[in-house]
Structure 1
Amino acid sequence: MPQKQVPLAEGLFTWPSENPALIAGKCVECGFVEFPKKQRCLRCFSGTTEAYELPRRGTLWTFTTQRFRPPAPPYAGGDTAETFEPFTVGYVELDGGLMVEARLTEPDPDKLSIGQEMELVVVPFGAAGDDSQTMIYAFRPVG
C-alpha cells in the first residue's frame, strides 16, 4: 500500500497536483509579492495579502552543493549521517524578479549552469510523525 504523502507545511505549494505551484502572498494594497505567503505585507504593512500562485518555471540564479548532513533539528530529512547523499540547492528567479531558494533535483553540479531554465516539482523528503511521506518543493532542469 502506498504511503500517505503530505506537504512539509500547509500553504507552501498546491498539493496534490500534477502541475504544482508555489503559493505566494500578493498585497492587495501595493501589489508586492513574497514567498512564502505572510499574513501582512512586509513592504507597506497593510493587513491583507491574497494567495497568489507563482510561475512554475524560472532561471537558475545561483547554486551550491550541500556535502554534509545538516544538523537536526532543523533539518528533517529521512536520511542518517551514514546514508546522507550530497544535494544541490539554489536560487531560482521567477518572472517579476522574485527569487526562491529550493533544493534542486540534479545532484551533479557539473550538469547545472547559471541561467539554466528550471521547473517546479514536488519530491519526497522524509517521514512525518505519523509515518506518512513528507513532500517538499524543488526545481529540476528543463529539457
Structure 2
Amino acid sequence: MRIRVVSSREEIFTLSPNERLVHLAFRPSNKDIFGLIETCPKVEVIQLPKSYMATVSKSIEMFLQMQRVQLLEGDVWGHRKDINEYYAVPSSVVEKIKVMKAEGKAADEIEKKVSRESKLNPAMVGYILNKETTA
C-alpha cells in the first residue's frame, strides 16, 4: 500500500488520476482540495499533518463527505520526498493487521496496537484494516 506524498500545490495537477491515498505536506486551501478531487477522481483518503487539520474549513469537510473521501490526520514518518514520491506502508504492518483481524481482535484494539508499533495514525490503520480485509 502506497501513499502519494504531495509537497506543493503546483504538484497537485501533475498527479495520476488513479491516486487513491494522498498525503498533503503543505497547508491546503479550499481551491487546492477541489483541484485534488478534480485531478484524482478516485481518491479515497486525504491525509494531513495534525497542525494543518485545524485549518480545514467545515465546507471542505462536508464536500469531502459528499465525495466519499476520508480526511485523516497523520504524518509520513521518516519519508524523504527527494528519494521517492510515495510513502510505502510496510507489508509487515499490513500483514500484522490481517493476522490480528483473523485472530478476532477488536478494530479499536488493532488500531491502537499497530499505531503504537508502526507510527501510523490510528485512523490510517483503521482505513487499512477495512480496505485490506474487504479486498
So what's the TM-score if we normalise by structure 2?
Answer: 0.23
Q: Structure 1 or 2: larger strand share?
A: 1
Q: Which of the two has higher C-alpha Rg? A: 1
So what's the TM-score if we normalise by structure 1?
Answer: 0.22
Q: Structure 1 or 2: larger helix share?
A: 2
